[in-house]
Amino acid sequence: MSVELFAVGRPGDGLTGIAATDDGAVWFGFGDAGRVGRRAADGTVDLVDLGEGAQPVGVSPATEDTVWVVDSAGDRLVHLGPGPRVVGETAVPSANALPLDVVTLPDGTTWFTEQFGAALGRIDILGRVEEFPVGAEGGPSGITASGDSIWFSLQGHRPALGHVRGGDAAIELVELPLGSGPLGVTVADDGSVWTALHAVDALARVDRDRSVAVVPLDEGAGPYAVVADDRGGVWASLWGADALVRVAASGATERVQLAAGSGPRGLAVAADGAVWAALASGELARVAR
């Protein structure tokens, strides 16, 4: 596998979330600098400032050329389009909810997590916002979708993966190992759900029958994000080990070592199959075969 690095900021900017849109652009948030960047298909990089005190964390495709960005400190979601420019924004109804991650479903609705609010939020196609308490002790963190099904990671004393099938369905919880600190979550091609168990240096796989298998990683790996690729496997960013790892459907693993201090966090898979990672070092990494 080949690795290309693209400098887009400084180490103190704290790159966090990242998303690839169908127009070939890659979007990324500077969590500690209040900016969002867009790298166009031709390599041009442009930035937009979200204002003083903004903290963009989660980034996710909204349409073929726009994204939603979660401003955690500002309790809002910002809709950005090419330029980049602000298309609009939506306030989180509950103050100090600490929104973290966001996903848009095929029906056009957008869901987000509220870690301090212990709830999920939903923006409908008319821009109206509803909140749904998760009904458990803990705070939602990462979120993903498969069709109309939503999965989210739940941190707290009883960590779990939460599942919602359809807009107003009851929330189902799948318990994870105690103290595991789940963060990023994704759905693989075979329907299994994966999450990064940040606190115990492992990944967890939840099969359709809700059985849980733990995939241990090296001590200190600190997995952060996880994303499904187009070949049946999943990738995870190892924040603590400055590396990326791919786990195939067979269980075989491949590791991509990055430079010391890289600090990979957000991950995205582009239409061409390349994996993009947002690095705390102020770079983007592109991994391709």
pLDDT for position 167: 60
Two tokens, residue 216: 């241990």
Q: What is the mean pLDDT of residues 150-158?
A: 93
**Is the pLDDT confidence value at 73 over 70?**
yes
Q: What is the mean pLDDT of residues 230-236?
A: 94
**Residue spans of alpha helices (H) in 138-219:** none
As to burial, measured by CB atoms within 10 angstroms (0-12 exposed, 13-18 middle, 19+ buried), residue 157 is exposed
Residue 95: count other Cβ atoms within 10 Å of its Cβ: 9
Distance (Å, rounded) from C-alpha 15 to C-alpha 1? 23
Torsion of CA 84, 55, 88, 169, to 10 degrees: 120
For residue range 158-201, list pLDDT tens digits in order.
Answer: 999 999 986 666 889 999 999 999 999 999 999 999 999 999 99
Q: Grade residue 21 by pLDDT with cuts at 50, 70 and 90.
A: very high
